[in-house]
Structure 1
Amino acid sequence: MIAEARLNFIVKPKPWKLPNQWEWVPLEEICDIVIGGTPSRNNHKYWGFGHTWVSISDLNGEIIMSSKEQITDLGVASSNVKLIDPGTVLISFKLTIGKLGIAGKQIYTNEAIAALPIKIGWQTKFYRDFLFYALKVVPLSKEVDLSVKGKTLNKKKIAKILLPIPYLKEPTLSINIQRRIVARIEALLAEVRESRGLINKMRQDAERLMGTALSEVIEKLDEQYPNSPTISQLISSKKIHIEGGGTPSRSNENYWNGLIPWISPKDMKRWYIKDAQEHISHSALQETAVKLIPEGSVLIVVRGMILAHTMPVGINQNEVTINQDMKALVPSNNLLPDYLGYILRTRSPLILQQVETAAHGTKRLKTDTLVVPTNECRWYDFRHFEGY
């Protein structure tokens, strides 16, 4: 699997000094540059089940086999979309610049994505995966400051991107070197994934130990404070308030090109949450019902099949937004978020018994009936458990 990575952007006339027998070659010499298009949104006959139509949000640094939206035969015939063959490298060049992917089958793309099929004369001396990894590290354009949101490349600038090529005069040697470099990169990425797996296992073991310790603490608190209030009572006394979430329209790419973390249940795998797999823009915040959740809120999943067995809980360490399957419990200054979060986490087996099943089978949790001990116990030093 090809790992996603952000691009390095260094501004130099020549990106860096190459080893002997290596040369910088403009992308336009190696690849055709094919820009996609978008059928009219005003005609519903152009949209629906049919052909894979890739937008920036579909580019995940991996092989692309599906897309969030599809277009029909009529949509293809009535627009300037272009058919892209399997194995073609894709790169975004508008709004969010430099996201990558590889077409896993025949696809179409929108106008913010350039497809880079290798020219016939280069197919025997240039390795596609080398192009993919090279685009992660070479500067895209000296004219563009890519740290500024919303900058845009164009086809002319894409054509001038420089790629480092070894031994141009010896094609067989050149492509063999490219293949060895790619093999080494992917071996290192495999080692990284293996290390992450070991770290995750260690974290799971630590969480089990922490759960046992927390259960003992909470049992003592329950004995000491038998008349604990519900979340609803905490809201009435202004100890907390609850914020919901939402999803900006997927059809508006301007909503999905920002830097604001948009937390969904798939991001709820850690206790402390700093980032998300997807991000939204300030315009999404201003023009939709999505709200900014303050730092130090307790995030919980309240809808989804995961509630059949697990109630994910976490604390955001910076401002975030959340989707409609989640709630944020925002505590007042005299209620510690870690305390509230650990209480809910420890009580999760009992809380899950309150989960309801909607008509279509989705699990749903009402937050206002959850019980939380308060008073002096909220100052218990839970820092012993931080980091899990």
Structure 2
Amino acid sequence: EIQAEKEKLIKEKKIKKEKPLPEIEADEIPFEIPNNWKWVRINDLFDVARGGSPRPIKAFLTEDINGINWIKIGDTEIGGKYIYHVKEKIKPEGLKKSRFVKSGDLLLTNSMSYGRPYILKTDGCIHDGWLVLSPFVYSLNKEFFYYLISSQYIKREFTKTAVGAVVKNLNKNKVKAIIIPLPPLAEQKRIVAKLDELLPHLNPGKEP
């Protein structure tokens, strides 16, 4: 289903066709998973892209009700999982120099503290301090991938891919190639329910 949707998006020119990543080799697999799970690359499930910033940003900020949400790292909460609201908007013409993202996408911080995930609960534009993971099939359990990306395994993988002499940033193409375990959807939901029970501080609750 995921691969079919990906091909459909390519045909509709909503995403670009890219050179296929190599098959996952046995020596890449870091640990065993249940037989009904599958190792996949992030690029198999998500379109990964970097944000963009219209400059000078002050010239594009607006208080007009028709402005586009301007999603910044400052709109997140410490220990939060979701981004519900933003403080600023940009003029529609800024869209051409930025990247539009949708509710249900996953955002990753890509600046001083890289790789911190958030689940979007609003639409808007993101600057280049973010990477966005847009699922090819929105029925994927976003909370499962939030917890997976928050895991020590993925943090180690991000550390391997981060580039920069002074300030480390995530390399988009290397993030795409990271392998992750994919359980069946029903199991994704069971894992999330158990983690929400065990880690309530990571689930701050409903929209304020």
| TM-score, length-scaled by structure 2 | 0.69
Partner of 1:87: 104
Structure 1 pair 44–177 and aligned structure 2 pair: CA distance change class (3 A): closer
Query: Hey, what does 2:185 align to over in structure 1?
Result: 175
Report the alpha carbon displacement of residue 66 of structure 1 after superposing the two structures with TM: 2.3
Contact preservation (8 Å) 1:56, 1:99: no
Q: What TM-score, normalized by structure 1, do the two folds share? A: 0.39
Larger RCO (CA within 8 A; separation ≥ 6)? 2
SS in structure 2 of the partner of residue 186 of structure 1: helix
What is aligned with 1:185?
195
Matched residue SS, 1:156: helix
Task: Identify the residue that residue 40 of structure 2 maps to in structure 1.
Answer: 25
Distance change in 2, residues 1:115/1:21 (3 Å): same
Structure 2 counterpart of 1:136, which letter?
S
The Cα of 1:13 is off from its aligned counterpart by 4.2
If you compute each CA radius of gyration, which structure gives the higher value, 1 or 2? 1
What is the CA-CA distance between 1:68 and the residue it aligns to? Answer: 4.1
The DSSP-based 3-state class of the residue aligned with 2:131 is: strand
Give yes or no for the alignment of 1:104 onto 2:121: yes
Q: Counterparts of 1:67 and 1:149 in 2: how far apart (Å)?
A: 29
Matching of residue 154 in structure 1 with residue 168 in structure 2: no
Alignment of 1:259-338 (within 5 A): none
Q: Per the alignment, in what secondary structure is the counterpart of residue 158 of structure 1?
A: helix
Q: Give the residue type in structure 2 aligned to 1:63.
A: Y
Q: 5+ unaligned residues in a row in structure 2: which ranges? A: 1-26, 203-208
Alpha-carbon contact 1:93-1:154 (below 8 Å) kept: no
Aligned-partner Cα distance in 2 for 1:112–1:33: 14
- How far off is 1:188 after superposition? 1.7
- Aligned-pair CA distance for 1:71: 1.3
Match of 2:19 in 1: none
**Amino acid in the other structure paired with 1:105:** T
Of all paired residues, the percent bearing the same amino acid is: 25
1:247-276 alpha-carbon deviations (Å, 9 max, x no partner): xxxxxxxxxxxxxxxxxxxxxxxxxxxxxx
Distance 1:165 1:53, change over 3 A: same
Match of 2:92 in 1: 73
* Alignment counterpart, residue 147 of structure 2, candidates 133, 138, 160: 133
> Could you list the per-position Cα deviations for residues 5-63 of structure 1 after superposition, in whole angstroms to 9, with x for gaps in the alignment?
xxxxxxx943433233323210000011132111112x643113232212333344322
Which digits, 9 at most, give the CA deviation of each residue in 1:85-126, with x for residues without a partner? 111111123332112211111111111212112114xx45x3
Matching of residue 48 in structure 1 with residue 62 in structure 2: yes
Cα separation, 2, equivalents of 1:45 and 1:149? 29
Counterpart residue number, 1:34 = 49
Q: Distance in 2 between matches of 1:71 and 1:92?
A: 20
**Alignment equivalent of 2:131, drawn from 86, 111, 114:** 114
SS in 2 for 1:143: helix
How far apart, CA to CA, are the structure 2 residues paired with 1:15 and 1:112? 29
What residue identity is the alignment partner of 2:198? L
* Alignment map for 1:354-365 (pairs within 5 Å): none
> CA RMSD, aligned part only?
2.6
Query: Is the CA contact (8 Å cut-off) linking 1:51 and 1:72 kept in structure 2?
Result: yes
Partner amino acid, structure 2, of 1:134: L
Q: Using the TM superposition, give the Cα deviation of residue 149 of structure 1 relative to its aligned residue in structure 2, in angstroms.
A: 6.5
Count of residue pairs brought into register by the alignment: 167
Q: Any stretches of 5+ residues in structure 1 without a counterpart?
A: 1-11, 167-173, 194-388
